[in-house]
Amino acid sequence: MLSSIIDAFKVPELRKKILFTLAILALYRFGAYVPVPGIPFNEFANSFQDSGVSMTMLDLFTGGALSNFSVFSLGIMPYITASIIMQLMQGVIPAVGRWAKEGDAGRKKITQVTRYLTLGLGLINAVGYLFLFKSPAYGVVFSTEVPELLTDFIVVFTLVAGTAFIMWMGELITQRGIGNGMSLIIFVSIVSRVPSAIFSSVNLTADLGMGIAITALIILVVLACIPAIIFVERAQRRIPVNYAKRVQGRKMMGGQSTYIPLKVNAAGVIPIIFASCLIYFPAQLAALFNIEWLTNVANAMSTGWINWILTVLLIVFFAYFYTSMVFNPEDTADNLRKQGGFIPGVRPGTATVTYIKNVLHRVTLPGGIFIAAIAVVPSIVFFFTGNTLIQAFGGTSILIMIGVALDTMSKVESQLKMHNYDGFFK
């Protein structure tokens, strides 16, 4: 692995992409500590410490930006929520479904609508946070040097602008950097909370030695789980494919055998991210309306048995949903037929489509259950222990971190192979 990193920095083009990505992520972390104009920082920090579990989880996905009430307090969640809505709309609204099939032109339309939807959701969240933090529950008094209406406008405008800036940075990383920009921003947000979580875990008990032992045990358990997670992430079901021999001009084509790789977890970390956004969406609504019963519902969905059941169901659902979005058995069967390929023992056409669908459904289920279990079990342990390190190193966080890390490493590896391939024939 170390040699691959060294090789990556030897390639000028790849080195520029990696350094550009690191620079954008550093800028994102800097913005997480720049407070919104007019906010009384110390007073707000003290009030936020007494907030509910739902707000704590929202703060985890913003990398501490919300507890600082920084310009990036809304984080990447408005964009993720907008993406979920657009994904669902592809199966509900025919026009959006056609856009998804139009190639680059259609994707540009979907991206544009997603951006506008992100700004709209960001505006709603910004107004909600403003009213929440000014409510008696927090009692934060903003700057009195300027009219209150102007202060409110500045706060809302700054938060929405911060959301737009994060969205722009994520797209920049995707286009000019290495890896998926939005996923890397979530990755950095989660990782940034780990050092403080380790410190809190060590000091959780009065006995310092016991705190260190418990923290070390948690880290060892996490390290032991990483190989199993990687194994499932890389596992795949290979459907054998044979190609019939045919004469094309003066050449004999076909006759070889290959396979269709179906990943056990084809959706990656997307089900985790989507499920987390939907589960903590009531917390965002509670922040907007500041209604007691809605806040209680948000807190109930953020922890406890309701959270665990919803997490499992949503992760399994999105595992199937996203896999069906990215892999089309009809197109695969049609391409096999056009290229003279067939699955041994299965007739081409409808039978091939049915066979691939059945295999895909059987493969996706254990993958969805596995990542759901990894996401829920640490939450149950945290519920009974209260150790903040388990929350920071929870199954959701681990899966997102490992999934994003593997995806980024795969992109770096493909870039290295491409470079070596070009260099070999020069």
d(CA 227, CA 371): 14
Q: Are strands 257-263 and 246-248 parallel, antiparallel or unpaired?
A: unpaired
Radius of gyration for the alpha carbons in the chain, expressed in angstroms and rounded: 24
Indicate if the pLDDT at residue 228 is higher than 60. Answer: yes
Q: What angle do CA 308, 216, 228 make, to 5 degrees?
A: 55
What tokens were used for 36?
A: 């919104």
Within 8 A by CB and 6+ apart from 58, the residues are 66, 75, 77, 280, 283, 284
- The edge-to-edge listing of strands for the beta sheet with 257-263 is 257-263, 236-243, 341-342
pLDDT digits (tens, 9 = 90+) for 49-77: 655 555 666 666 677 777 777 888 888 88
What tokens were used for 371?
A: 């990542």
Indicate if the pLDDT at residue 23 is higher than 90. Answer: yes
Tell me how many helices (H) and strands (E) the chain has.
19, 5
pLDDT digits (tens, 9 = 90+) for 176-205: 888 888 888 888 888 887 777 777 777 776
Q: Is residue 238 packed enough to be buried (19+ CB in 10 Å), middle (13-18) or exposed (0-12)?
A: exposed
The answer to whether 319 and 271 have CB atoms below 8 angstroms apart is yes
* DSSP string for residues in 178-226: SS-HHHHHHHHHHHTTHHHHHHHHHTSSS-HHHHHHHHHHHHHHHHHHH
Phi/psi at 328 (nearest 5 deg)? -110, 105
Name the strand (E) or helix (H) holding 76.
Answer: none
What tokens were used for 387?
A: 């150790």
CA within 13 Å, CB half, 43: 12
* Residue that wins the pLDDT comparison between 362 and 69: 362
Q: What is the pLDDT of residue 422?
A: 43
Report which listed range, 59-68, 79-88, 134-143, is most confident.
79-88
Indicate if the pLDDT at residue 424 is higher than 50. Answer: no
Within 8 A by CB and 6+ apart from 377, the residues are 395
Average pLDDT over residues 334-355: 83
Confidence band, pLDDT 50/70/90 cuts, at residue 345: confident
Indicate if the pLDDT at residue 426 is higher than 50. Answer: no
Residue 88: left if φ>0, alpha if ψ -120 to 50, beta else—which one?
alpha
d(CA 409, CA 398): 16
Phi/psi at 341 (nearest 5 deg)? -100, 155
Instruction: Name the DSSP class of 70.
Output: B
Task: Give me the domains of the chain, ranges plus CATH numbers.
Answer: 1-192 (1.10.3370.10), 193-393 (1.10.3370.10)
pLDDT digits (tens, 9 = 90+) for 289-339: 666 777 777 777 777 788 888 888 988 998 888 888 778 888 888 888 877
Confidence band, pLDDT 50/70/90 cuts, at residue 119: very high
Indicate if the pLDDT at residue 360 is higher than 70. Answer: yes
Average pLDDT over residues 250-275: 75
Name the strand (E) or helix (H) holding 239.
Answer: strand 236-243
* Residue that wins the pLDDT comparison between 228 and 159: 159
Indicate if the pLDDT at residue 340 is higher than 80. Answer: no
